Amino acid sequence: MDARLPYRMRSIVFIGFMGVGKTTIGELVAKKLLRDFVDIDKEIEKDFHLSIPEIFQTFGEPAFRDKERELIFSVCKRPLQVISLGGGAFLQSAVRQFCLAHCIVFYLDMTWDSWKERINVIVDNRPVLQGRTMEDIEKVFHERKAIYSLHNSKFDIGDWDAEGMAEYIVDTIKLSWDLYD
Ligand code: S3P
């Protein structure tokens, strides 16, 4: 028997590179769908009582990834939420498989040229970007695209503002409920 939730009740998960707007758009989508919003990075910080840079510094990235996976497993099987994952969560194949089996996964994509304009506001609290050259970061950006290629729907941020993007995503979700239920 398929123990998964009916399609319409499944939580919606946003994935994509650091700083593309997963949290901003996720919060707007949650509001429009009258669902709770969960930011996995915030949950990790609450659990450790530390900021993400402090967690990386004190316990190291592997401890961060273990907690990230554990929280995703517990949060993502609950129904009717909108969830934003940290940009590295999909590096773990168990996370990819779990989210694709139990949720509806939306990939927010952006071109490198648009993303690199944001680097200055992003880098300070993103330990995985620190100490890297622009060339290194560009390489990671393109490598990560391969892991995000597993998703249910992809949206190119392009010139959209967050409100317009959220509106468009909500329309798409409602259409998919009609199609797949
Ligand atoms: C990370 C992305 C961050 C956060 C952590 C690691 C990554 O989340 O989880 O700093 O490896 O891509 P955002 O994508 O919300 O910045």
The residue-averaged pLDDT of 70-84 equals: 97
> For residue 18, how far is its CA from the centre of ligand 1 (angstroms)?
5
Interval 67-83 mean pLDDT = 97
CA nearest ligand 1 atom 6, residue: 88
Task: Quote the CA–CA distance of 11 and 7 in Å, as a whole number.
Answer: 9
Domain residue limits, the chain: 12-180
Ligand 1, pocket-test mutation among 128, 136, 141, 143, most atoms within 8 A of CB = 128
Q: Give mean pLDDT, residues 21-29.
A: 97
Ligand 1 touching residue 19 (CB < 6 A): yes
Residue 35 to residues 9, 27, 156, 159, 178, Cα–Cα distance (Å):
11, 9, 23, 26, 18
**Cα Rg, the chain, nearest whole Å:** 16
Q: Whose CA is nearest to atom 10 of ligand 1?
A: 126
Q: Is the CB of 18 under 6 A from ligand 1?
A: yes
Q: What is the percent of the chain where pLDDT is above 90? A: 91
pLDDT in tens, 30-56: 999 999 999 999 999 999 999 999 999
Residue 12: is it exposed, middle or buried by C-beta count within 10 angstroms (0-12/13-18/19+)? buried
Whole-model pTM: value is 0.96
Q: What are phi and psi of 152, to 5 degrees?
A: -95, -30
Neighbours of 137 (CB within 10 A): 21
Cα separations in angstroms, 69 against 59, 88, 106, 159: 16, 11, 18, 32
- Kindly report the average pLDDT of the chain as a whole number: 95
Closest residue CA from atom 8 of ligand 1: 86
Residue with tokens 């892991």: 147
Distance CA 59, CA 84 (A): 23
- Choose which CATH entry (3.90.1150.10, 3.90.1300.10, 3.40.50.300, 3.40.50.970) describes domain 12-180: 3.40.50.300
Q: Can you name the residues that pair with 105 across neighbouring β-strands? A: 13
Count of other CB atoms within 10 angstroms of residue 178: 8
Q: What is the dihedral of CA 148, 149, 152, 157, to 10 degrees?
A: 70
Structure confidence at residue 148 (pLDDT)? 97
Residue 128 alpha carbon, nearest atom of ligand 1: 11
